[in-house]
Structure formats: structure tokens, C-alpha cells
């Protein structure tokens, strides 16, 4: 017996086909966004893990190490403020993304030219290379968050963020080990130049995936706004709390982050090979955490998870400061990997939870401004303290204290007035 389905008109059939095509495009976007960060992670160890080590080998001072993190944070802030002006020159987000994301990826190519500089200018060139590319990074970073919102449904964003962290950390594990071995067996300048060149090739593959993301729900192009008007986004109690939390996290985490490698190398005698394994310990923990961080956020709530994670980063700073030898510092790396990954997932969820669609462009811009400001101020703290004569161990202990204080402050923000409008409380977890 044959049954015929009736009652489906041409309009409904078209809607079904349109829905199917939409779903396929979203799945393709999801794959491209994960592949993008995987290839990027395969290159990222060159800058986040070994650029500061290169500077230390070139006899950079503690203050110069601070500048290596601080100035990119400041220039990223400048780039973020230029995002609206840049976006208005293009009809679609992918078109607007191309040049800034290409410019940002030059951060992997310019340091390869360091050996060509006079010896007295090599540290300065390294700082310049990481700083000047932070302007397009600020633009691309803001546009990229909007592009993800345009290509992926709100319900899948927290999961995508978590999967991207897994892919990023997996790529970082591989690149840390490969680049660490490469630097071990190569002369100083040749090894670092080759590492940066290989990294640049890898991030160009990442660029291809970014440009293949298709827009499914275009968001309005922001109108021209002076900076004081952009600042009005902080009038929302929801977003003001997000700003306080994000600033506290980045200011305190980066207060001693640039000093950790110097303590490992100058204080405990670490080599590039050990720095690689230190990074692997941190990244393995991060990968493990990223697989369940979104579920943990749903259970605890985004803000609570951020506070607990900051306690973990404080413990990590204590462990590395008090470690009697290099093997003991691996425990610190493991704790830091878990804590920072959980904190990153929770901050993104906290931001989404408290940002409506019509606020997204301006709110994302201001979010990145706060991140850049926190990195800039925080990175200078450790370098200034160390150059003032404070021992690296004491600097790390001060940083641990600041992170404990940040955890307390984040908990206290619960007392702030609540704001009813939320984006997706069912996917981002509770408060």
C-alpha cells in the first residue's frame, strides 16, 4: 500500500529546501571556523610561546619583555576603535575581514627579519613586529566575532567556541613540540627565522578557511559614531559588569605572564626544549578542559566559573614562583591551562549572555577595547616591578595576589543591579 503525503504546497516545499540549504551552509561554516583555528594553532606557538624566549636570548630587559606584551595590547585597542570606520567601507563582513586578517598574519613574517637588523636593534624590531600588526588584529578580532554571529546560530556558538579552543590547543601542542625541537637543533637566528617563516605559511591556510565562511544572518553595519557615543554602551548595567570582569581578568593575568618565561630561563635554567614541554603541559590541560568547559559553565554559571578559574590562575602563579626545580613547574602549567581555558569560555559566554543582537557590533568593539587596555596595563606591571629591583619570584607572588583579588572582585559584581535583557541564557549558563 502506498501512502501519499498531502497538504504541502509549493511555498512550504521551498521553505523546507531553504531550511536544508541554510543548515548545510551553517555546518560548512562550523567546519571552516574550526579548521581556521586549528591551522592558526599550528603556527601560534611561534609568537605566544617563543617570541618572548627569543627576546630573552637577545638579552631583553624585564621592561622590554613587558613592552613585548603591553604595546601590542595598546595598538590592538587602537585597531579596535577603527573597526566601525573600516567596516563601513564594505558591504559584507567577509570582505571587510580580508585585509585586516592578512595584516595581522604578518606578525608571523616580520619577526623572521630580526637577524637582518643591527644587533642593538634586534629586540626593538621584535617589539615593533608584534606591535604594528596588532592594529589590524584589533580590527579583525572585532569583525571576526560578528562574522561568527552571522554564520552560526546562537544555540551553537558556545559549543563552537569550546571546539575552537580544543582545536587551537591541539595545534599549539604540535607546534610547541615541533618548533621547540627545531630551535634546539638549529643556530639561534637561523632557527627562529625558519620557525617564523613556517608559521606564516600555516596561517595563510587558516586565512583561506576564514574567507570561506558565508553570512547567513547579516547584522546591520554600524553608523559612524564618535568615541564618546560608543562609550554609551557601558550605560547598560549588563555590559558594565562584563567590562569590569574582563578588565580585572586581563589586567591581573597579564601582570606577570611576561615574566614567567624569564623566571624559567634566568632563574631555573630552562632551554627552548623545556619551554616547549612547559607549553605542552599547559595545552594538554587546556584541551581536556575545553571538552567540558561549556557544560561546566551551564552547571556553575558563567560568572562563577570565571571567579573559580581566576583562583586557579593565582594558584598557578604561586606554584611556578615556589617551584624548587623545573619539573615542579609543569604542575603550574597544567593548572594554568585548565584555569585559563575555563575562564576564556566563561568570559565569552558571559559576554553573549548579556549582549543583545542590536548591541553586538558596538559591544564587541568595547569588549576588545577593554581586553587591549587590560593587557597593556597588566603587562607593564611585572616589567616595572622587576626593573625596579624586585626579584622575579617576588613579582610572581605579587601577581598571584592580584589574581586572588580579581576572583574576589568578580564575585562581588553579583551585587550590581541586574538587567533583564539577556541574549541566550539557555546556552550560556546562569549568572
pLDDT of residue 45: 94
Domain with 44, as residue range(s), is 20-428
pLDDT of residue 340: 93
CATH code for position 226: 1.20.1250.20
- Which whole number is the average pLDDT over 130-149? 91
**Residue 3 located in a structural domain:** no
The pLDDT of residue 336 is above 90:
yes
User: Which one, of 422, 13, 27, 427, lies nearest residue 216 by Cα?
Assistant: 27
**Residue 371 located in a structural domain:** yes
Residue 18: pLDDT band with limits 50, 70, 90: low
Of all residues in the chain, what percent are helix, strand and coil, respectively (each to 5)? 80, 0, 20
Cβ neighbours for 378, distance < 8 A, ≥ 6 positions apart: 70, 73, 250, 251, 252, 253, 254, 255, 257
pLDDT of residue 422: 42
- pTM value? 0.80
- Which whole number is the average pLDDT over 397-416? 90
3-state secondary structure 191-212: HHHHHHHHHHHHHHHHHHHHHC
**Residue 265 located in a structural domain:** yes
The pLDDT of residue 6 is above 80:
no
The pLDDT of residue 16 is above 60:
no
Does an H or E element contain 179, and which? helix 157-185
Q: How far apart are CA 53 and CA 196, in angstroms?
A: 13
pLDDT of residue 15: 46
Which DSSP symbol is given to 389? Answer: T
Return the percentage of the chain with pLDDT > 90, whole number: 52
**Residue 11 located in a structural domain:** no
Name the grid cell of 241: 559588569
Range with lowest mean pLDDT among 58-62, 87-91, 154-158, 338-342 = 154-158
User: Which one, of 153, 208, 187, lies nearest residue 19 by Cα?
Assistant: 153
**Residue 13 located in a structural domain:** no
Higher pLDDT, 79 or 415: 79
Q: How far apart are CA 97 and CA 308, in angstroms?
A: 35
The pLDDT of residue 395 is above 70:
yes
Name the grid cell of 218: 547579516
**Residue 15 located in a structural domain:** no
The pLDDT of residue 356 is above 80:
no
Return the percentage of the chain with pLDDT > 70, whole number: 88
**Residue 4 located in a structural domain:** no
The pLDDT of residue 19 is above 70:
no
Is residue 300 within 8 Å of residue 308, measured between CB atoms? Answer: yes
Number of independent structural domains in the chain: 1
Long-range contacts of 90-93 (CB under 8 A, 24+ apart): 92/215, 92/218, 93/143, 93/146, 93/147, 93/150, 93/215, 93/218, 93/219
**Residue 1 located in a structural domain:** no
The pLDDT of residue 130 is above 80:
yes
Amino acid at each position: 500500500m502506498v501512502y501519499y503525503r498531502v497538504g504541502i504546497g509549493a511555498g512550504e516545499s521551498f521553505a523546507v529546501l531553504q531550511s536544508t540549504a541554510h543548515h548545510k551552509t551553517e555546518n560548512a561554516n562550523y567546519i571552516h571556523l574550526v579548521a581556521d583555528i586549528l591551522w592558526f594553532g599550528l603556527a601560534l606557538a611561534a609568537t605566544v610561546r617563543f617570541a618572548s624566549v627569543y627576546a630573552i636570548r637577545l638579552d631583553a630587559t624585564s621592561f622590554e619583555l613587558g613592552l613585548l606584551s603591553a604595546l601590542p595590547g595598546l595598538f590592538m585597542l587602537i585597531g579596535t576603535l577603527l573597526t566601525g570606520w573600516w567596516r563601513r567601507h564594505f558591504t559584507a563582513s567577509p570582505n571587510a575581514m580580508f585585509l585586516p586578517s592578512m595584516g595581522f598574519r604578518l606578525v608571523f613574517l616580520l619577526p623572521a627579519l630580526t637577524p637582518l637588523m643591527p644587533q642593538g636593534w634586534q629586540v626593538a624590531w621584535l617589539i615593533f613586529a608584534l606591535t604594528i600588526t596588532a592594529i589590524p588584529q584589533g580590527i579583525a578580532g572585532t569583525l571576526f566575532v560578528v562574522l561568527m554571529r552571522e554564520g552560526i546560530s546562537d544555540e551553537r556558538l558556545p559549543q563552537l567556541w569550546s571546539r575552537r579552543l580544543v582545536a587551537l590547543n591541539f595545534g599549539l601542542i604540535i607546534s610547541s613540540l615541533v618548533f621547540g625541537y627545531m630551535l634546539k637543533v638549529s643556530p639561534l637566528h637561523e632557527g627562529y627565522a625558519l620557525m617564523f617563516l613556517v608559521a606564516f605559511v600555516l596561517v595563510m591556510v587558516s586565512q583561506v578557511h576564514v574567507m570561506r565562511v558565508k553570512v547567513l544572518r547579516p547584522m546591520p553595519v554600524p553608523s559612524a559614531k564618535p568615541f564618546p557615543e560608543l562609550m554609551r554602551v557601558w550605560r547598560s548595567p549588563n555590559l558594565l559588569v562584563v567590562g569590569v570582569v574582563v578588565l580585572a581578568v586581563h589586567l591581573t593575568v597579564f601582570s606577570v605572564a611576561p615574566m614567567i618565561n624569564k623566571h624559567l630561563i634566568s632563574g631555573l635554567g630552562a632551554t627552548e626544549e623545556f619551554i616547549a614541554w612547559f607549553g605542552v603541559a599547559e595545552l594538554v590541560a587546556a584541551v581536556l578542559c575545553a571538552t567540558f568547559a561549556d557544560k561546566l559553565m551551564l552547571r556553575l554559571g558563567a560568572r562563577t566559573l570565571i571567579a573559580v578559574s581566576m583562583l586557579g590562575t593565582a594558584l598557578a602563579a604561586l606554584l611556578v614562583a615556589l617551584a624548587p626545580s623545573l619539573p615542579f613547574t609543569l604542575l603550574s602549567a597544567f593548572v594554568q591551562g585548565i584555569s585559563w581555558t575555563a575562564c576564556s569560555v566563561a568570559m565569552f559566554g558571559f559576554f553573549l549572555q548579556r549582549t543583545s543582537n542590536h548591541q553586538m557590533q558596538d559591544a564587541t568593539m568595547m569588549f576588545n577595547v577593554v581586553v587591549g587596555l587590560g593587557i597593556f596595563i597588566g603587562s607593564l606591571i611585572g616589567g616595572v616591578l622587576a626593573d625596579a629591583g624586585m626579584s622575579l619570584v617576588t613579582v610572581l607572588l605579587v601577581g598571584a595576589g592580584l589574581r586572588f583579588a580579581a576572583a574576589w572582585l568578580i564575585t562581588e559584581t553579583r551585587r550590581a543591579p541586574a538587567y533583564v535583557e539577556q541574549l541566550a541564557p539557555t546556552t550560556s549558563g546562569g549568572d
